[in-house]
Amino acid sequence: MTDHARRLLAEFVGTAALVAVVVGSGIAAQQLTDDAALQLLANSTATVFGLGVLILVFGPVSGAHFNPVVSAADWLAGRRYGTGLTATDVLTYAIAQIAGAITGAVLANVMFDLSAWQISTHDRITTGHLVGEVVATAGLIAVIFALARSGRAAMSAAAVASYIGAAYWFTSSTSFANPAVTIGRIFSDTFAGIAPGSAPGFILAQIIGAALGLALIVMLYPRSVAEAADNAVVPHPSTTDH
């Protein structure tokens, strides 16, 4: 298997596992209690632990992006200096991530003896939710690239997972912050799902948030460790080794 194929496999499996954690814990929470606060607590706690582990497992192979806007930001941050992903990498990563997200949602449905193929009816599109997604995604990108540009990318497993766990609670949208995960969650009509009509607005908000987060990092860390752009989320072999 080529190095690039291994990267795509890691992004596919890692994103599938992440969505299985998010959706599966949402289903479990919904089945265990009717209390919305407890449901969110269970969902966010499982996501924090699951995401941290997945970054540690897959990060050395692909960087553990699991997120198209992270991959796009990696390309954008590094392209002036010949580091980070290539445009082709971003496209293939995104395809693997979206396919993985859908697979993870279907897997979660099957694990809980629900219909494998579902379409969510959970409408989330409000102004507050969209602002929440901008904030959540901007913060996520800022955390990832602040660590990468200051030579602390090895701390990303704990830092990124902790940020996402906090953002579940301080953002109105419960911090999707990920276009692939947003698409995957369309396919689960449960506590963790999102209706198809809400997804485009969320994805646009995530793109805007990613741009704002990256702009902030460029101002705070101007070319300080630009070569580290290739180490988002965690250090991994150079893309030039394909």
Kindly report, residue by residue over 13-63, the tens digit of the pLDDT.
999 999 999 999 999 999 999 999 999 999 999 999 999 999 999 999 999
* CATH number of the domain where residue 174 is located: 1.20.1080.10
Pair of tokens at residue 58 = 């897959």
Whether the pLDDT of residue 240 is over 50: the answer is no
Q: Please give the average per-residue pLDDT across 62-67, as a whole number.
A: 96
How many domains does the structure of the chain reveal? Answer: 1
Give the per-residue pLDDT at 124.
93
Residue 236 pLDDT grade (very low, low, confident, very high; cuts 50, 70, 90):
low
Q: Is the pTM of this model over 0.85?
A: yes
Residue 224 pLDDT grade (very low, low, confident, very high; cuts 50, 70, 90):
low
Give the per-residue pLDDT at 223.
63
Residue 234 pLDDT grade (very low, low, confident, very high; cuts 50, 70, 90):
low
Q: Are 71 and 97 in contact (CB under 8 A)?
A: yes
Q: What is the pLDDT of residues 154-202, one digit of tens each?
A: 899 999 999 999 999 999 999 999 999 999 999 999 989 999 999 999 9
Q: What 3-state DSSP class applies to 126?
A: coil
Whether the pLDDT of residue 229 is over 70: the answer is no
Tell the burial category of 115 from Cβ atoms under 10 Å away from its Cβ (0-12, 13-18, 19+): exposed
Give the per-residue pLDDT at 62.
94
d(C-alpha 215, C-alpha 221), whole Å: 10
User: In this structure, is residue 135 part of a structural domain?
Assistant: yes
User: In this structure, is residue 212 part of a structural domain?
Assistant: yes
User: In this structure, is residue 143 part of a structural domain?
Assistant: yes
Size of the chain, expressed as the number of residues it contains:
242
Residue 238 pLDDT grade (very low, low, confident, very high; cuts 50, 70, 90):
low
Domain that holds residue 37: 3-227
User: In this structure, is residue 238 part of a structural domain?
Assistant: no
User: In this structure, is residue 232 part of a structural domain?
Assistant: no
Q: How many helices (H) and strands (E) does the chain have?
A: 8, 0
DSSP output for 79-117: GGGT-S--HHHHHHHHHHHHHHHHHHHHHHHHHTTS-SS
User: In this structure, is residue 241 part of a structural domain?
Assistant: no
Higher-confidence residue: 21 or 153? 21
Give the per-residue pLDDT at 242.
42
Positive or negative: CA dihedral 163, 164, 167, 169: negative
Give the per-residue pLDDT at 232.
63
Q: What is the pLDDT of residues 91-131, one digit of tens each?
A: 999 999 999 999 999 999 999 999 999 999 999 999 999 99
What does pLDDT average to over the chain? 92
User: In this structure, is residue 240 part of a structural domain?
Assistant: no
Give residues with Cβ within 8 angstroms of 115, minimum separation 6: 109
Give the per-residue pLDDT at 151.
85
CA atoms within 13 A on the CB side of 42: 19
Phi, psi of 219 (to 5 degrees): -75, -40
> What Å distances lie between residue 134 and 86, 89, 129, CA to CA?
25, 25, 9
Q: What 3-state DSSP class applies to 35?
A: coil
